[in-house]
Amino acid sequence: MFLYAIQHSRPDILAKQLREKGYKEVYELQAGIASWIGAGYPYYTTVSSELTPAAYKKIITANRLVLVDIGTRYCGLCVKVKELVDSLKRKNDPSYDIVELELYKNTQLVADLKEIRAVPTVILYKDGKPVWERTGLSFTKEDIEAELAKAK
């Protein structure tokens, strides 16, 4: 039996339970599918990426400040981070742009970045270079706003 989840904790729990029930061959994808894709390992899907690597690079280099939110609607923490990012979007601050990437609709792009180890991941780019990055929900809206203000 092969188990994986978006993040790392759920397969560990299920694998342990299956082993306790007598299953001999239980394999877990360590760190989850988000880490697998983000590390650039092969991932096959019938869904085409919405954003090409070239288009992504153009966005982050053509704008002075770009906040990128990488997550998926299947992840509870990702939904909470999306709410934070959406609240920043509603401010309509012209000093920065926001890009939201759905992991499963941009798997090739995320794989090409080879930097994403978990979702949600939020990256702030300044002049095309990452200046701040957070994974999980280890930050608040105020933290993002402070980083944006510092980067301006």
How much is the pLDDT for 42? 76
CA distance 41 to 55: 21
What are the residue boundaries of the structural domains of the chain, listed by start? 2-30, 53-151
Superfamily of domain 53-151: Glutaredoxin (3.40.30.10)
For the chain of 152 residues, list the mean pLDDT of each consecutive stretch of 10.
69 84 87 77 73 91 94 91 94 93 88 85 96 92 95 91
What 3-state class would DSSP assign to 58?
A: helix
pLDDT of residue 46: 67
Q: How far apart are CA 69 and CA 84, in angstroms?
A: 10
Query: Tokens 């792009």 map to which residue?
Result: 109
Q: Which amino acid is at 7?
A: Q
Instruction: Find the helix packing angle between 76-89 and 141-151, rounded to 10°.
Output: 50
